[in-house]
Amino acid sequence: MRRKMSVVLAAMMALTLCLSGCGGKSQEATTAPEPAQEQQEQEQKEQVPAEESQDPEGKTAVLVVSFGTSYNDSRDITIGAIEEAIAKAHPEYEVRRAFTAQIIIDKLKERDGLEIDNVTQALDRAVADGVEKLIVQPTHLMDGFEYNDLMNELESYKSDFKSISVGRPLLTSNEDFQGVIAAVTNATKEYDDGETAIVFMGHGTEAASNEVYGIMQTKLKEAGFENYYVGTVEAEPTLEDVITALKEKGTYKKVVLEPLMVVAGDHANNDMAGEEDSWKTALEAENFEVECVIQGLGEMEDIQKIYVEHVDRAVEKLEQSADTAILVVSFGTSFNNSRDITIGAIENEIADAFPQYPVRRAFTSQIIIDKLAERDGLEIDNVTQALDRAVADGIRTLIVQPTHMMSGYEYTDLSNELAEYESDFEKIVLGEPLLTTEEDFQAVATALENATKEFDDGETAIVFMGHGTEADSNQIYSQMQETATEKGLENYYIGTVEAEPTLEDVMAALKEKGSYKKVVLEPLMVVAGDHANNDMAGDDEDSWKNMLEAEGYEVTCRLTGLGEMADIRRIYVDHTRAAIDSL
């Protein structure tokens, strides 16, 4: 029955991709056929000396999953190059290929006689070949519809393997964004002369993960790459948004176009660089001189290295303890990519610090859990579900690390629920929230200073917006203010949305100082979610941004969650380590 469902799932995936327009024009492409698959496999075998293999029986394999492309040459130097880099880094494992686009798979078979598995076929083949441990590395850019479909299909094969470990998409953690920015700016730095705009064209998606492009743009600007712009073909930011930004700058004579896609395929050759109704012709119509660079991200060695690093982490997970796990509990957020680079980054940091233990996720907000399930088809456990699942999976020792800021209502609720499960585990331990000890306050103050010291010029107030609570633990905000002041951070201020100190308290303190012309706003929250985007940086009259602008300040909003800061993540790792040590 499961096999039939898998076939149906694959068919539905192909239909969805067809309807979305992905791979549509690529059916018109005609390029020389790829070398025979047997020859490629022989070349791979020759590159791996038998004496180096740590898996002589072939019981472990790496499956690299890509959307695919019918552009043979581009496939070889992008997807093929990523696969080759992974094979070189892990010669002890066989590296296999699967594509998700059935349209492309069928075209390659008909046009070139080239057989490539879809995901179902690749998984069935691995089972038939006796693979026991499977590492799956997607070349997807983000955690979107395709990635979720892949995860759902892998779930149905869990009983067929001793273990399945899945690598992360390209843009998952804050380090991933920084790595990709370094790669694309290094590859195009020759053009960055002040009179040239370097514009990257992404695909875009209707999924909430489309936020990745906005995050990429923000981080480029924060890193000082003022002449770099990101747009998408099928979502936002649009080409029109990019053209507006270029005109606002007003100094550009030339535009360099390059795809922000793993493969330089149909979209790059036609939508970006084509001679009709393309980004190139639209920009030329605006009197820009346009140069197109047909280069997929997969061609860049620095990008290949990121995928290899993701495989490395997936490999580490294969040998994890079977009866001990770490459960990371967060409030949650419906802002997908903020989640990935904050909560996800904390989880990843903990996983990297303790590779012997699987790291699981739970959210406390049922509203957010339900929204993600309905909107994105993303299933996330609440605490009860996560605990029941751990019991059912035979976990005997459970380390629970909350990402809560303080020991407030939520932390107390979590502690009470864990107490009800004490008899279900041999050992269960709860780690401390972010701000617990004096050392925590000092460390957080240092992290905030390091993240914003470029703005501390004496004429700028750096204001952090916390959530606030009616619980006694709300005092952490005033304690954080005292800690910052004692450290000499005289231009740093802390307020809350729903408690004290209020925005009015903060504005009174700014006026009392009397020397500020600018205000930088940043959330004092793990995730830059709804409060950061709306209450802090929103367009409504009562947002902190507009209230401060009404007082005559020039305001800059930084949508950076605490979870993006390496110094903050280290505190959570330290608290997890302390919990483990207490067992």
Instruction: Output the pLDDT for position 58.
Output: 58
Burial of 44 (0-12, 13-18, 19+ CB in 10 A): middle
Instruction: Give CA–CA dist 340/527, Å, rounded.
Output: 10
Question: What is the C-alpha separation between 245 and 497, in angstroms, rounded?
Answer: 32
* Radius of gyration of the chain, Cα coordinates, nearest whole angstrom: 25
pLDDT for the residue numbered 45: 36
What is the maximal distance between C-alpha atoms in the chain? 76
Range with the poorest average pLDDT among 226-240, 310-324, 392-406: 310-324
* pLDDT, tens digit, 9 for 90 and up, residues 78-98: 999 999 999 999 999 999 999
Between 336 and 531, the more confident residue is 531
What pLDDT shows up at residue 16? 39
Question: Quick one: average pLDDT of 106-134?
Answer: 97
Q: How far is CA 22 from CA 14, 26, 29, 277, 396, in A?
A: 10, 8, 14, 17, 46
Q: Tens digits of per-residue pLDDT, 448-499?
A: 999 999 999 999 999 999 999 999 999 999 999 999 999 999 999 999 999 9
Say if residue 402's pLDDT is above 90: yes
Torsion (CA) 95, 98, 99, 103 in degrees, nearest 10:
140
> ω into residue 237 within 30 of 0, thus cis?
yes
- With cut-offs at 50, 70 and 90, classify the pLDDT of residue 54: low
pTM (predicted TM-score): 0.71
* Amino acid identity, position 401: Q
Judging by DSSP bridges, how do beta strands 60-66 and 228-232 pair with one another? unpaired
pLDDT over 90 (residue 318): no
Q: What is the model's pLDDT at position 209?
A: 83
> Domains plus CATH for the chain?
2-39+48-172 (3.40.50.1400), 180-299 (3.40.50.1400), 320-434 (3.40.50.1400), 438-564 (3.40.50.1400)
Which tokens hold the place of 263? 């493969």
**Whole-number mean pLDDT of the chain?**
89
Given a cut of 70, whether residue 232 has pLDDT beyond it is yes
What pLDDT band is residue 4 in, cutting at 50, 70 and 90? very low
pLDDT digits (tens, 9 = 90+) for 14-51: 333 333 334 333 333 333 334 444 444 433 433 333 33
Residue of 90, 140, 203, 467 with catalytic role: 467
504: CB partners within 8 A, 6+ apart? none
pLDDT digits (tens, 9 = 90+) for 273-297: 999 999 999 999 999 999 999 999 9
Q: Let me know if 467 is a catalytic residue.
A: yes
d(CA 480, CA 138): 41
Band of the pLDDT at 349, cuts 50, 70, 90?
very high
pLDDT, average across residues 535-547: 95
Band (171; pLDDT cuts 50, 70, 90)? very high
DSSP 32-64: PPPPPHHHHHHHHHHHS-GGG-S-TT--EEEEE
Taking Cα atoms as reference points, which of 460, 442, 462, 465 lies closest to residue 452?
A: 462
For residue 375, the SS3 value is: helix
Q: Which is more confident, 320 or 445?
A: 445
Helix 566-581 and helix 343-353, axial crossing angle in degrees, nearest 10: 50
Residues 182-216 have pLDDT tens digits of 999 999 999 999 999 999 999 999 887 888 999 89
pLDDT of residue 252: 97
